[in-house]
Amino acid sequence: MKLIDVIRGLAINNDVGNNDNNVDVKGITDNSLHVKEGDLFVAIKGHKVNGHDYIDQVIEAGAAAIVGEEEHTELPIPYLQVNNSRKALGTLAKNYYMDPSAFKVMIGITGTNGKTTTSYILKHILEENGLSCTLIGTINNIVNGEVVSTTNTTPSSLVINELIFRSNDPVVIMEVSSHGIDQYRVEGISFDYCLFTNFTRDHLDYHLTIENYFQAKRKLFDQLKPNGLAVINTDDEWAKKLNQDLISKGKRTFTVGQSKNNDISFNNAISSNKKSINITEKEESYTVDFAMPGLHNFYNMLSACATSLQIINSTEAIIDSIKTFSGVKGRFEIIRNDNGSTFVVDYAHTSDGLLNILNTVNEFNPKGIIHIFGMRGNRDVAKNKDMLKISASMSTLYILTMDDLNLVSYQSMLRELEVLNEQFGNQKGIIIPDRTLAIKYAIENSAKDDWIIITGKGHEKYQQSYFVPTQSDMETIEHFI
């Protein structure tokens, strides 16, 4: 593609270098280490590294042109200066891959919790009804049925556009994180449906205030296609506010929640032991059989139902396909032990997530609850005390252990756990830093009808080595039982 076509619509402040905008662009990258002959390099000032520092190297490697924010003169190749390189990357990627999101049914899911679960339920419903889906999210990306590993929930705009361009699936379901929105990773992507699952405190290490965090998530809804639809859980106060705001701006919304005023409503009288529930849509009532325990997962299912209804238009077919949904890796995954105790592996790492999980466990009438969890290093530390308070008040025994250190030293994390435990714990808690030994202790100290709840890591592999050389909570449980 010619550079002139790749930069279409890009707001350029200054065009220096050799000014040859007819040069051929063979590829785009924002990583100097990946630059090949003929590539367009986008220099990004990152959180750790400044891409502009590599300009000499990328010219040496044969880059055809550079887009960046800093001022430059006297370069042998075109250098296009823009206000925001991350935003520019979105426009360039969209042009280079020929606006792929315009040709798909695009579904973006945001919210603090429930994005992954909702995306998998939605994928299942649509595929059971003959529509294959590309999935971009936390666990993996899946394109044309092929699994592609990922580091981010929402990858960079370059990766997103490439995945959609490569996809032969008619539908694309994306989890959209607040970091992704804030860093313009979805710039240039347009959505047919945007979902808002719920909103509670998280990621304040990055967004600093809850209002900034909300505004980041809210921005996704500006990217709805002209006739696009917002699907909103109005039982969440922040989401309700978003719904009113969107309606006042003339946007289309479709709501789910307990009140009959919603487009799909249900009555709250559910419990995790009860697998069937009645929902009402256009004054018709339906009974839904759903495998995943917990009211929170029921909300996820409802949002997925509401979205698929816009695409499939047969409530019966949707309700039928929910019956065969078996769950999501690391989300309230249940394992039964021969001694009559039960394990749950779950990805909860917010206080709201923990509250939901422990409430759900209580609905099974456990004899005792042993809760094993840790705190992620270098993340929103202020939420840690709330997580501990919830665990201390709802479990019979809690065991504080290691989670991802994220560059925090083992000793500092141990100290943090000790201080937290002193200040916000109670006599029911102990600290066993080695995660595998914490699980061993819980197994040895559990009996029939006890529940052992291990939260924080869910489907993820361990980032550090433990006494038992297993890779995940699930593997550790299997090792011991």
Ligand X SMILES: Nc1ncnc2c1ncn2[C@@H]1O[C@H](COP(=O)(O)OP(=O)(O)OP(=O)(O)O)[C@@H](O)[C@H]1O
Ligand Y SMILES: CC(=O)N[C@H]1[C@@H](OP(=O)(O)OP(=O)(O)OC[C@H]2O[C@@H](n3ccc(=O)[nH]c3=O)[C@H](O)[C@@H]2O)O[C@H](CO)[C@@H](O)[C@@H]1O[C@H](C)C(=O)N[C@@H](C)C(=O)N[C@H](CCC(=O)O)C(=O)O
> Annotated binding residues for ATP, as ranges?
111-117
| Position 346 contacts ligand X (CB under 6 A) | yes
Sign of CA pseudo-dihedral 42, 45, 48, 53: positive
Rule CB under 6 A: which of 441-470 touch ligand X?
458
At residue 62, the 3 state secondary structure works out as coil
Rule CB under 6 A: which of 417-446 touch ligand Y?
none
Q: Which of 74, 130, 149, 151 binds ligand Y (CB under 6 A)?
A: 151
Mark residues 29-48: x for contact with ligand Y by CB under 6 A, - for none: -xxxx----------x-xxx
Smallest gap from residue 173 Cβ to ligand Y (A): 15
| Position 52 contacts ligand Y (CB under 6 A) | no
Of 37-45, 110-118, 246-254, 310-318, the segment contacting ligand X by CB under 6 A is: 110-118
Alpha carbons 376 and 122: distance in angstroms, whole number: 29
Q: How far is CA 307 from the centre of its chain?
A: 18
Count CB neighbours of 251 within 10 A: 16
| Position 177 contacts ligand Y (CB under 6 A) | yes
Q: Which of 116, 134, 307, 308 binds ligand X (CB under 6 A)?
A: 116
Q: Which of 90, 353, 374, 429 binds ligand X (CB under 6 A)?
A: 353
Q: How far is CA 90 from the centre of its chain?
A: 20
| Position 113 contacts ligand Y (CB under 6 A) | no
| Position 153 contacts ligand Y (CB under 6 A) | yes
CA angle (283 as vertex; 280, 289 as ends), nearest 5: 25
Alpha carbons 250 and 105: distance in angstroms, whole number: 21
The DSSP H or E segment spanning 253 is strand 252-257
Q: Which does 269 bind (CB under 5 to 8 A by kind): ligand X, ligand Y, none?
A: none
Which of residues 116 and 395 has its CB atom nearest to ligand X in the complex?
Answer: 116
Of 96-104, 177-185, 246-254, 410-418, the segment contacting ligand Y by CB under 6 A is: 177-185
At residue 408, the 3 state secondary structure works out as coil
Q: Which residues of 88-102 are buried (b: 16+ CB within 10 A; e: fewer)?
A: bbbbbbbbbbebbbe
Please answer whether residues 266 and 277 qualify as being in contact, where contact means their C-beta atoms are separated by less than 8 angstroms: yes
At residue 158, the 3 state secondary structure works out as helix
Which contacts of 440-443 are long-range, i.e. CB under 8 A and separated by 24 or more positions?
440/468, 440/480, 441/399, 442/370, 442/372, 442/397, 442/399, 443/337, 443/341, 443/477, 443/480, 443/481
Q: Which does 356 bind (CB under 5 to 8 A by kind): ligand X, ligand Y, none?
A: ligand X
Which of residues 183 and 300 has its CB atom nearest to ligand X in the complex?
Answer: 300
Which of residues 35 and 160 has its CB atom nearest to ligand X in the complex?
Answer: 160
| Position 296 contacts ligand X (CB under 6 A) | yes
Smallest gap from residue 377 Cβ to ligand X (A): 16
Residues that bind ligand X (CB under 6 A): 113-117, 138, 153, 175, 197-198, 296, 299-300, 331, 346-348, 352-353, 356-357, 458
